[in-house]
A and B are shown apart, each in its own frame.
Chain A
Amino acid sequence: VTAPALAPLLRALDRRTFALDDWGARVTAGSVGWRRRVGDDRRGGEQALGHVRAVVHRDVPAGRGSATIDVDAGPSTPFAELVAEALDRAMSTIGPAWTSPPPAAPARVAVADPAIARPVDAADQLEQLVLDAAATHGASVRALDVEVVGETVSVATSRGLDASWPQTALTVRALLVRGDRHARVERSARRLSDLALDAAIAGALADADRIAAAAPTPAGRVRVALEAPALLHGGLGLFAAFVAQADPGLERQGLVAARAGRPIVDGATAAAEPLTLTSDGTLPFGLASTPIADVGDPVRRFALVERGLVRGLALDAREAALRGAQANGGVRGLLVPAGPTDADALLTDAGPVLLVEAWHWLALEPVTGELRARIALGRLHAAAGARDVRGGIVRADALAALALARRSRELASTPRYRGPRRWLLGELAVDGG
């Protein structure tokens, strides 16, 4: 795995030093191994990957102009022309003056699986793991999509930063069939061992059996609890609303729920367990972890919400410079401290609780926090006992629901999250269907 595009890009940037006041570049190069099955149709292969993202700046008396180069790069990529064209564009974007911060040391974080020598071999291995695990549990694989990326990331800036590191990413999507039931499995991680495929496949097939026997979810208002897979549906899940609140562009336009120093929602600071949510770009083998962000921004841990109050924004070098703050590399892995209550006690404290274990889909308007999600599998806990339920659409304000929630003492860990395994939200509306 090499970074062949960096040298010609740097030469092109070098030749233009008379016009360039500042620049940063990020080059990723490597390969992807992939396998795809749909019924009897089997395909697979290996592709070279090469991507360049560079930002060039021009400083003039009126301020600073910037332009971006963002291309899939190969041996014949005309970097000299791209740089010249970007410089022209930079002159048409002159805005407030700012200067790039001095280079920061790369964060110490591992983002590559040392067990992956060649992505194409790892893809083969992964395909076989899925087939074997499915067979072990009496299921067949109806469709399978496996992708393993191995690449080297190189970042260089005009201010002397020059760093390089390997990274890997694995994705598995499978549709399994056992009898007249089917189950979907979707996993992403940086390490093969973090995929936990056998457990994921066994769990998905067991859930399919429970869904088949589950009763429809009754409509009405009920206290809702979420297991970590439901909380994080699709990656960030409900937290996508908090990530949007940290967008400095939205904040500048006054479109966020609350400004820094104010409660994220009414009552957030007086909640039984005020929420603290922290971004950490150095979670080992985290999918959002990186030693250096974008084209040279440092990666710093920062609080988005602290005891119910809005704290930090996702700041790149420009936003940070204009605000007189430190850049932090954006929102990365999410950390939430454990709650004081056992996970089981959250369900038995008072009244019925609908524990959602998986969603069919989750539609979240990140700016407003408006949430709609349809239950794939839940468990309704009441005094008379617990029973599995399916269907029903939950509507809520995701910001309020999480900011006022109670959390379990037990923790869950995913490639983007370290925090409570179970969250007890307030009373929410559940529609039938």
Chain B
Amino acid sequence: VAARVRAAAALTLVDDPTSPAAFAGHALDDAGAPARPTTLASGGAPFAAGPWGSARRSGPRWQLARAPTHLELAAGAATAGALESAVAAGVVLDGVRDLRLDDDGYVVVRVSRARELARGQRTGRVWGDLELRGDVGELLAGVIGVSSDRAAVALADDGPARDALVPWLVTRGELAGGPLADARGGR
């Protein structure tokens, strides 16, 4: 999927195991090689081909495999609040419950809440249990805003310990499911 995804020019994604902010940062990876930052996407170019990251040991057999350690999406210039105030009509999604990315590049992100935005203001209307769907390439290429404030997220799964530092993004996508079923297909 990564090879055919071209993120918006505003997005720069780096894996930097040497960052002081890295939860599982290291100077040498688990194969003994010096760690160094790797730019995975920038300037609207296609994503770097995988496998990404440095050699890490994980899993029940403690085997070596390449995996990112500390992903950073570069911050933008405006605050998240300023980005919201520029949206004429839309929603703020948060509380990820599930994310599925298929081999064909289709992504489904199930979220707990969607807060309505109208003329740059939160209306107070909230929907629960929705899905953001679409081609991951279109969602990333469609990013028109990146916030200056970022959140650190620990990634907990079966792989090696890793984290991400990510801003809020403004993009366009299809929402479906839950109480918004009548508006299914709305972007």
Q: Are B61 and A433 in contact (CB under 8 A)?
A: no
Distance between Cα atoms of A137 and B125 in the complex (Å): 56
Q: Are A360 and B102 in contact (CB under 8 A)?
A: yes
Which residues of A310-361 have CB atoms within 8 Å of chain B's CB atoms? 360-361
**Which residue of the partner chain, among A38, A147, A360, A393, contacts B66 with CB atoms under 8 Å?**
A38
Q: Are B102 and A361 in contact (CB under 8 A)?
A: yes
| Most chain A beta-carbon neighbours within 10 Å: one of B61, B98, B174 | B61
CB-CB nearest in chain B for A184: B103
Q: Are B103 and A360 in contact (CB under 8 A)?
A: yes
Q: Are A182 and B106 in contact (CB under 8 A)?
A: no
Chain B residues within an 8 Å CB radius of A431: 176-177, 184
Chain B residues within an 8 Å CB radius of A363: 98, 100, 110
Type the 1/0 row for B43-85, where 1 means its CB is closer than 8 Å to any CB of A: 0000000010000000001011110000000000000000000
Known contacts A36-B63, A391-B106: A360-B51 contact under CB 8 Å: no
Nearest chain A CB to B98's CB is how many angstroms away? 6
B136 at the interface (CB under 8 A from A): no
B6 at the interface (CB under 8 A from A): no
Q: Are B100 and A34 in contact (CB under 8 A)?
A: no
Q: Are B61 and A360 in contact (CB under 8 A)?
A: no
Chain B residues within an 8 Å CB radius of A184: 103
B133 at the interface (CB under 8 A from A): yes
Chain B residues within an 8 Å CB radius of A361: 100, 102
CB-CB nearest in chain B for A363: B98
Chain B residues within an 8 Å CB radius of A360: 100, 102-104, 106
CB-CB nearest in chain B for A183: B103
B108 at the interface (CB under 8 A from A): yes
Known contacts A32-B61, A184-B103, A374-B102: A433-B133 contact under CB 8 Å: yes
Nearest chain B CB to A307's CB is how many angstroms away? 35
Chain B residues within an 8 Å CB radius of A376: 102
Distance between Cα atoms of A363 and B108 in the complex (Å): 11
Chain A residues within an 8 Å CB radius of B103: 182, 184, 360
Distance between Cα atoms of A390 and B133 in the complex (Å): 16
Distance between Cα atoms of A356 and B106 in the complex (Å): 18
Distance between Cα atoms of A147 and B133 in the complex (Å): 35
Chain A residues within an 8 Å CB radius of B61: 32, 34, 47, 147
Type the 1/0 row for B91-109, where 1 means its CB is closer than 8 Å to any CB of A: 0000000101011101010
Chain B residues within an 8 Å CB radius of A252: none
Distance between Cα atoms of A38 and B134 in the complex (Å): 28
Which residues of A118-159 have CB atoms within 8 Å of chain B's CB atoms? 147
Chain A residues within an 8 Å CB radius of B185: 432
Nearest chain B CB to A381's CB is how many angstroms away? 23
Distance between Cα atoms of A47 and B59 in the complex (Å): 13
Distance between Cα atoms of A7 and B65 in the complex (Å): 36
Distance between Cα atoms of A43 and B102 in the complex (Å): 27
Which residues of A39-70 have CB atoms within 8 Å of chain B's CB atoms? 43, 47
Chain A residues within an 8 Å CB radius of B174: 433
Chain B residues within an 8 Å CB radius of A36: 63, 65
Q: Are B51 and A374 in contact (CB under 8 A)?
A: no
Distance between Cα atoms of A180 and B89 in the complex (Å): 40
Known contacts A32-B61, A47-B61, A433-B106: A374-B100 contact under CB 8 Å: yes
Nearest chain A CB to B174's CB is how many angstroms away? 7
Nearest chain B CB to A26's CB is how many angstroms away? 17
Q: Are B133 and A43 in contact (CB under 8 A)?
A: no
Nearest chain A CB to B58's CB is how many angstroms away? 13
Type the 1/0 row for A200-221, where 1 means its CB is closer than 8 Å to any CB of B: 0000000000000000000000
Not counting A360-B103, A433-B108, a sample of 19 additional A-B residue pairs whose C-beta atoms are within 8 angstroms of each other reads: A36-B63, A36-B65, A43-B63, A43-B64, A147-B61, A182-B103, A184-B103, A360-B100, A361-B100, A363-B98, A374-B102, A374-B106, A374-B108, A390-B104, A391-B104, A431-B176, A431-B184, A433-B134, A433-B176
Return 13 A-B CB contacts under 8 Å, by A number.
A34-B61, A38-B66, A43-B64, A182-B103, A184-B103, A361-B100, A361-B102, A390-B104, A391-B104, A393-B108, A431-B176, A431-B184, A433-B176
